[in-house]
Chains A and B, each alone.
Chain A
Amino acid sequence: MDKTLTMAPSVTSATSRLEAGPQGKRPRKVLSSRNIIVYGLLGLAALYYLLPLYVMVVTSLKGMPEIRLGNIFSPPMEITFEPWVKAWAEACTGLNCDGLSRGFWNSVRITIPSVIVSIAIASVNGYALANWRFKGSEVFFTILIVGAFIPYQVMIYPIVIVLREMGLYGTIYGLILVHSIFGMPIQTLLFRNYFVSLPEELFKAARIDGAGFWQIYFRIMLPMSLPIFVVSMILQTTGIWNDFLFGVVFTRPDTYPMTVQLNNIVNSVQGVKEYNVNMAATLLTGAVPLIVYFISGRLFVRGIAAGAVKG
Chain B
Amino acid sequence: MAAHSQPGRPNQLFRNLNSKIASIPMILTAVVIFLGGTIWTVTYSFTNSKLLPRLNFVGFEQYERLWDTPRWIVSIQNLATYGCLSLIFSLTIGFLLAALMDQKIRFENTFRTIFLYPFALSFIVTGLVWQWLLNPEFGVQSVVRSLGWTSFTFDPLYNSDIVIYGILLAALWQGTGLVMCLMLAGLRGIDEDIWKAARVDGIPMWKTYLFIVIPMMRPVFVTTLVLITSGIVRVYDLVVAQTSGGPGIASDVPAKYVYDYMFFAQNLGQGFAASSMMLLAIAIVIIPWAYLEFGGRKRG
Listed in ascending order, the chain A residues whose CB lies under 8 Å from chain B are 34, 38-39, 41-42, 45-46, 48-53, 55-56, 59, 67-68, 71-73, 121, 124-125, 127-129, 132-135, 137, 140-159, 161-162, 180-181, 184, 188, 196, 212-214, 238, 241-245, 249, 259, 262-263, 266-267, 275, 278-279, 282, 285-286, 289-290, 292-294, 297-298, 300-301, 304-305, 308-309, 311
Contacts and interface: CB of A to CB of B under 8 A. Distances in A.
Contacts of B103: 34, 38
A147 B230 CA distance: 11
**A148, A154, A157, A294 pick with most chain B CB within 10 angstroms:** A154
B125 A151 contact: no
B234 A181 contact: no
B100 interface: yes
Closest 7 CB pairs of A and B: A147-B34, A242-B122, A213-B18, A132-B19, A158-B37, A293-B120, A155-B37
Contact of A158 (B15, B41, B120, B255): B41
Contacts of A150: 34, 38, 279, 282
The prevalent SS among residues of A at the interface is: helix
Given A146-B290, A241-B122, A242-B121, A42 B37 contact: no
A60 B142 CA distance: 19
Contacts of B182: 304-305, 308-309
Interface string B165-190: 00000000100011001100110000
A261 to B, nearest CB: 10
Interface of B: 12, 15-16, 18-20, 22-23, 25-27, 29-38, 40-42, 44, 53, 96-97, 100-101, 103, 105, 109, 111-125, 128-133, 135, 138-140, 142-143, 146, 173, 177-178, 181-182, 185-186, 220, 223-224, 226-227, 230, 233-234, 236-237, 240-241, 244, 254-255, 258-259, 262-263, 268, 271-272, 274-276, 278-279, 282, 286, 290, 294, 300
A9 to B, nearest CB: 28
B185 A309 contact: yes
Contact of A147 (B30, B111, B112, B143): B30
Given A52-B129, A132-B19, A290-B120, A153 B294 contact: no
A141 B120 CA distance: 27
Nearest to A139: B30
B112 A301 contact: yes
B18 A214 contact: yes
Nearest to B16: A134
**B115, B124, B227 pick with most chain A CB within 10 angstroms:** B124
A72 B275 CA distance: 40
A161 B32 CA distance: 12
A262 B125 contact: yes
Given A49-B117, A212-B18, A151 B272 contact: no
Given A154-B41, A262-B125, 20 more contacts: A38-B100, A42-B97, A46-B115, A71-B146, A137-B19, A140-B31, A141-B26, A143-B31, A149-B226, A149-B230, A149-B282, A155-B33, A157-B40, A162-B32, A244-B122, A262-B128, A263-B124, A266-B128, A304-B182, A308-B182
B224 A308 contact: yes
Contact of B26 (A135, A140, A282, A309): A140
Contact of A238 (B36, B44, B120): B120
A6 to B, nearest CB: 28
Contact of A154 (B37, B117, B132): B37
A249 B263 contact: yes
A279 B132 contact: yes
Contacts of B282: 149-151
A203 to B, nearest CB: 12
A52 B114 CA distance: 12
Given A144-B30, A157-B41, A72 B138 contact: yes
B128 A140 contact: no
